[in-house]
Amino acid sequence: MGQDQAVSIRDLLRGLPVFARPLPQFAPGDAPDHPDDLFVSWLGEAIAAGVVEPHAMTLSTLDVDGVPDTRVLLLKDVDDRGWQFATDAGSAKGRQVAGRPDAALGFYWREQGRQVRVQGSVSPLDPQTSASDFLARPVGSRVASLASRQSEVLSDPTDLEHALAAAEDAVRENPDLLSASHTVYAVTPRTVEFWQGHAERRHVRLRYRRVGDAWIKELLWP
């Protein structure tokens, strides 16, 4: 790429507006004692504001050499067991969390200029939870999961077609067929940060930090 092209991309990026829209207020003094409660209330506000896919989040993990990796997943549930997502245990992320059970989650709700960040430890939930999550998925998703060798090299696209056709037949024969590797994981948070963007960069940051069984709330400099 030439120098002129690089400069023009820089100018293009610098010219893009940021937070140039009405943004919600966030009064951290009114925040509940538990971060899950604030998350549920922000999620409800995001849905009401028409945020597209507000349950999409980044999941960042580390491989055994400490090399970071990240990708987008769907949040499946939040309860006493943690913030949950579902994936294939044999995938890159599944292998990473098996080797090093630390992770970070990140949400960005651009329509509201809001960000939520979670740090914690990851563990698989019990097989019954994974089984019922799997069976609750639409048939097409179940077929795709059963056929997939997620994150492996696909050297010939016809291999995928054949695997999908075989999985389709198998599900037709046994609609309750389970994937042995479909797994629901829970992130048990150590910190959860709520970030409200502001046009003049007076962003508001509230971090919850777990100390024993309690949550400490602290404001952070923007």
Ligand X SMILES: Cc1cc2nc3c(=O)[nH]c(=O)nc-3n(C[C@H](O)[C@H](O)[C@H](O)COP(=O)(O)O)c2cc1C
Residues forming the site for ligand X (CB under 6 A): 53, 56, 69, 71-74, 85-87, 91-93, 150-151
Question: 73: annotated binding-site residue?
Answer: yes
Cα angle: 200, vertex 202, 207; to 5 degrees: 150
Q: Which is nearer to ligand X, 74 or 165 (CB)?
A: 74
C-alpha span between 157 and 5 (Å, rounded): 35
Q: How far is the CB of 205 from ligand X (least distance, A)?
A: 25
Question: 93: annotated binding-site residue?
Answer: yes
Q: How far is the CB of 98 from ligand X (least distance, A)?
A: 12
Q: Are strands 56-62 and 68-74 parallel, antiparallel or unpaired?
A: antiparallel
Phi and psi (nearest 5°) for 213?
A: -95, 0
C-alpha span between 186 and 24 (Å, rounded): 30
C-alpha span between 175 and 172 (Å, rounded): 6
Question: 115: annotated binding-site residue?
Answer: yes
Q: Which is nearer to ligand X, 38 or 57 (CB)?
A: 57
Q: How far is the CB of 70 from ligand X (least distance, A)?
A: 8
Which neighbouring-strand residues pair with 196? 114, 204
Question: 217: annotated binding-site residue?
Answer: no
Q: Which is nearer to ligand X, 73 or 178 (CB)?
A: 73
Q: Which is nearer to ligand X, 125 or 206 (CB)?
A: 125
Per the structure block, which two tokens stand in for 27?
Answer: 């009064």
Q: How far is the CB of 4 from ligand X (least distance, A)?
A: 33
Question: 209: annotated binding-site residue?
Answer: no
Q: DSSP secondary structure string, 135-198?
A: HTS-HHHHHHHHH--TTS--S-HHHHHHHHHHHHHHHHH-TT---SSEEEEEEEEEEEEEEE--
Q: How far is the CB of 91 from ligand X (least distance, A)?
A: 3
Question: 205: annotated binding-site residue?
Answer: yes
Q: Which is nearer to ligand X, 102 or 210 (CB)?
A: 102
Q: Which residues sit in the known binding site for FMN?
A: 71-76, 93, 115, 150-151, 195, 205
